[in-house]
Every structure is written in C-alpha cells, then in structure tokens.
A and B are shown apart, each in its own frame.
Chain A
Amino acid sequence: DGGITQSPKYLFRKEGQNVTLSCEQNLNHDAMYWYRQDPGQGLRLIYYSQIVNDFQKGDIAEGYSVSREKKESFPLTVTSAQKNPTAFYLCASRSQGSYGYTFGSGTRLTVV
C-alpha cells in the first residue's frame, strides 16, 4: 500500500544531542513537508521541499535541518540549537498539481 512512513513513533533525546527523524514515502509525490504540532496549536511548518536537492525554510526552521537527496526521503534533524524540541512531528507529501496533503503517523519527540 502507498503511504508515508515516519520512524520512530516515539523518540527520547537528551539535552544537547542532535536527533534525526525519518520520513519515507512511496507515493511518488514531488513535494514533502515537515510540521511541528504542539497542544492547542495548529500545524507549524518547519521545512518543505518541492523537488529533490532543493528545500525551503518554513515558519519555524531555526534549530532544524533537512536534506532531500532522494524523492522518497525527507529526513529532519532536530539540533541542539532547538530550544524547545519536545513536540509531535508530522511529515506530509503532495503530488504535483494536487492540493491534498498525505500525512504520516508522526513521531513524538521528548527531551529528557
């Protein structure tokens, strides 16, 4: 079945460590997105990529980095520079010309 796979589902990180969240899609979608979700808030855009080897900062990119070396993969690194990284992270993809987003099931990151 086609879809988006995010792993791991739960992730614990010590303060000062970098951590990478995985996002893989087999939908052949061109665009991919990373969002952060906090309780009581809407989805906030971290980074997005329209094509391979190109990506753009979203509204809250500070403390995060991404890469898009393959069409299917869009990993997100949460760096130690991110002041408050504990959150639910969602990856999404979209086919070119389509308006609808397909989301993964998310990764819940907790800093301990």
Chain B
Amino acid sequence: QQQVKQSPQSLIVQKGGISIINCAYENTAFDYFPWYQQFPGKGPALLIAIRPDVSEKKEGRFTISFNKSAKQFSLHIMDSQPGDSATYFCAARWSNYQLIWGAGTKLIIKP
C-alpha cells in the first residue's frame, strides 16, 4: 500500500531520443507526485511535480503524465541530452508531508 514501484531500473537512450520512466502506486491517499534528479555524489533535486487532479504537466523538455484511474505516472524527457544522464526518483506524498520513494532509474544518454 505504501510502495511506489519504479521502472525500469536502468535505461540507455540515444541523444535526441525520448526517455520514459514509469511509476505505479496503490494508495489513493497520495496527493502529490514529484520527480527528483540526482547526479553522482550529490543530493537529489526537485525536477518537476504534479497533483492528481492534473493529467499532464510540462516544464521545458520534461513532462509528467498522470493516469489517476491506473494509478500510474511517468516522466518523459524529450530530446534527451548527455547532461540528462543521472538517476531519477519518483515519489508520492503521504500524510504529514512524508514522501514515499521509488527505487530509482539510472538514465544514460549516449552521445
């Protein structure tokens, strides 16, 4: 119930391609779904976030798609660049502002 399942564990995409990372959850009480980006040796940084009353949110090359009925949400990175190579975490907000984290996806963009 409290888990957020993230896939794939790792992903290799050619430069200029679309990177897609998926997350699924069970608890319908989750009310905020952020994505964080983490570079090696650094802490995660908030990339983009969405609430469940919105089906899509776009910020530059990054888009979250949210399917409330399927309890799934995904991150799309358009025109992927080598600088996008990082580990990406999805998360869901639980009560009292606690975040439940996915296991992470290591994304490699090949030049």
Contacts and interface: CB of A to CB of B under 8 A. Distances in A.
A42 B44 contact: no
B105 to A, nearest CB: 11
Contacts, number: 51
Given A31-B97, A99-B93, A99-B97, A105 B9 contact: no
B44 A41 contact: no
Contacts of A104: 43
A90 B104 contact: no
B13 interface: no
Q: Is the interface on chain B under 10, 10 to 19, 20 to 34, or 35 or more residues?
A: 20 to 34
Interface residues of A, number: 23
Main secondary structure of the interface of A (DSSP, over half): strand
B49 to A, nearest CB: 7
B25 interface: no
Given A43-B89, A104-B43, A99 B34 contact: yes
A41 B106 CA distance: 11
B11 to A, nearest CB: 14
B104 A106 contact: no
Given A31-B97, A40-B103, A42-B104, A100 B49 contact: yes
Interface centre among A43, A48, A50, A108 (most CB of B within 10 A): A43
Contacts of A106: 41-43
A105 B104 contact: no
Nearest to B100: A42
Contact of A101 (B9, B41, B99): B99
Given A99-B32, A106-B41, A43 B46 contact: no
A99 B6 CA distance: 21
A99 B49 contact: yes
A19 interface: no
A22 B59 CA distance: 34
Interface of A: 4, 6, 31, 40-45, 48, 50, 90-92, 94, 99-101, 103-106, 108
